[in-house]
Amino acid sequence: MKFNIEEILEIMPHRYPFLLIDRIQSINDDEVVGIKNVTYNEPFFQGHFPSDPIMPGVLIIESMVQAGGFLLLKKLDEPKKKTVYFGSINRVRFKNPVRPGDVLTHRVKLSAFRSNFCKLVGKSFVGDKIVAEGEFTASIVDRKGV
């Protein structure tokens, strides 16, 4: 099953400039493949670094976890009433830089899901090269203002 940006916006609470996934390529009960198209117009490239633009690692991780958050929200009966709070980061490694024009592909698996607490394991790729990987925890909470 695929989801475009409009369908992502229906579920995710994130908005510009902090929505960092553009498409869900596939999703099942315990795994999601999310896509982030990296363009030179991203606001962070103005300062990171003007002469050698590289996507900040923390934003690669945020994008990966947003894909995982989409997976978690899709498991719920009323996803528009919930949000996912990032809890922890473990075993994160950055392997290659991400530059303007790259397409980030995040593969995120749900390794544990109890009540409102979740563990995720993810890897991000540009083409067939791994650029980042890590393990994460998150909690599902009531969305404010809904």
Give the residue numbers annotated as catalytic, written as ranges.
48
b/e map of 48-75 (b: 16 or more CB within 10 Å)? Answer: eeeeebebeeebbbbbbbbbbbbbbbbe
Could you tell me the CA-to-CA distances from 131 to 31, 32, 97, 117, 121 in Å, in that order?
Answer: 19, 17, 6, 27, 14
